């Protein structure tokens, strides 16, 4: 590989990697993936993310609270995760993924609860001056309104409108383009219009594979020439810019 790449969002701790986690990480390194950001989504995956970051110096953890679990979770469970994030904040390069997912939550009360909990996560990011990694699905505009004034925000796996994307960029925040860009027209349009200075790239492994079956960090390499072709620039330019942006966003 003639250039280095960073996978800015993955879940290497998930069970899909139980059988071959070490080999998967090694494959990514062989492909030129110099760093991976592993995002926790709840109590146990936050612990697993910290363990991975401890074991590998090129894996970094963000500590999160996935909105999908919020409508049915007890107050006790939510506050357990929030205090876990605060307790371990020094070992994390960011807070998230957290945010809003209205796709799977159609009740007004469930959505309100997601907003309430998300506000608390935003408060933690603000208090400790950490980058916030947002999972915003079918509620990207609301997620932006709530987090707008933070220093640094990343909309991970962005699939919202081009209009909201421009507002994210105007606020000085970042959009992470997933490997979906290899086959989804909407994500290709996002990548085409997103300024390189505001772009990160990710796999969201084990989800959303650009190849058959499971996604893995090595496959973020597939996105680089695709995005370069959409923008009419060199692949190395995409790699260099996204590495620089990711380093800046997470302080790595
Ligand atoms: Zn994720």
Give the residue from 227, 228, 210 showing the smallest Cα distance to 219: 210
Q: How far is the CA of 134 from the centre of ligand 1 (A)?
A: 9
The vertex-162 CA angle with 207 and 244, nearest 5°, equals 65
Q: How far is the CA of 71 from the centre of ligand 1 (A)?
A: 18
Q: Domain span at residue 97?
A: 5-250
Q: How far is the CA of 202 from the centre of ligand 1 (A)?
A: 9
Q: What is the pLDDT of residues 106-158, one digit of tens each?
A: 999 999 999 999 999 999 999 999 999 999 999 999 999 999 999 999 999 99
Strand bridging mode 59-65 / 153-155: unpaired
Strand-pairing partners, residue 94, are: 62, 131
How far apart are the C-alpha atoms of 217 and 229, rounded to whole Å? 21
Instruction: Identify the pLDDT of residue 2.
Output: 84
Q: What is the pLDDT of residues 217-237, one digit of tens each?
A: 999 999 999 999 999 999 999
pLDDT of residue 54 exceeding 80:
yes
Domain count, the chain: 1
Mean pLDDT, rounded, of the chain: 97
Q: How far is the CA of 64 from the centre of ligand 1 (A)?
A: 10
pLDDT of residue 49 exceeding 80:
yes
Query: The CATH number of the domain where 104 resides is what?
Result: 3.20.20.140
% of the chain with per-residue pLDDT over 90: 98
Q: How far is the CA of 127 from the centre of ligand 1 (A)?
A: 23
Q: How far is the CA of 219 from the centre of ligand 1 (A)?
A: 15
Q: How far is the CA of 214 from the centre of ligand 1 (A)?
A: 14
> Among the residues of the chain, which ranges form H helices?
21-30, 43-55, 75-87, 108-127, 140-147, 162-170, 185-193, 220-231, 235-250
Q: How far is the CA of 100 from the centre of ligand 1 (A)?
A: 13
How far apart are the C-alpha atoms of 179 and 167, rounded to whole Å? 23
Q: How far is the CA of 205 from the centre of ligand 1 (A)?
A: 8
Supply the angle between the helices 108-127 and 75-87 in degrees, to the nearest 10: 20
The C-alpha R_g of the chain, in whole angstroms, comes to: 17
Instruction: Identify the pLDDT of residue 1.
Output: 59
């Amino acid at each position: 590989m003639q250039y280095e790449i960073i996978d800015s969002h993955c879940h290497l701790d998930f069970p899909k990697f139980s059988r071959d986690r070490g080999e998967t990480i090694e494959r990514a390194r062989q492909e030129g993936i110099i760093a991976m950001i592993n995002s926790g989504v709840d109590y146990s995956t936050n612990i697993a993310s910290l363990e991975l970051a401890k074991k590998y110096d090129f894996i970094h953890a963000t500590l999160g609270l996935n909105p999908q679990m919020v409508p049915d979770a007890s107050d006790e469970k939510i506050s357990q995760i929030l205090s876990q994030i605060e307790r371990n904040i020094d070992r994390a390069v960011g807070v998230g993924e957290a945010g809003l997912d209205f796709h799977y939550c159609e009740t007004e009360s469930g959505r309100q609860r997601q907003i309430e909990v998300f506000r608390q996560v935003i408060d933690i990011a603000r208090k400790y001056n950490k980058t916030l990694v947002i999972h915003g699905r079918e509620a990207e505009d609301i997620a932006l309104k709530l987090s707008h004034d933070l220093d640094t925000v990343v909309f991970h796996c962005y699939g919202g409108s081009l209009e909201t994307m421009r507002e994210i960029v105007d606020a000085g925040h970042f959009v992470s383009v997933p490997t979906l860009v290899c086959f989804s027209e909407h994500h290709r349009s996002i990548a085409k219009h997103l300024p390189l200075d505001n772009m990160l790239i990710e796999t969201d492994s084990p989800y959303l594979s650009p190849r058959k079956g499971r996604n893995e960090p090595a496959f973020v390499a597939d996105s680089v020439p695709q995005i370069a072709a959409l923008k009419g620039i060199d692949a190395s330019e995409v790699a260099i810019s996204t590495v620089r942006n990711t380093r800046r966003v997470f302080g790595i």
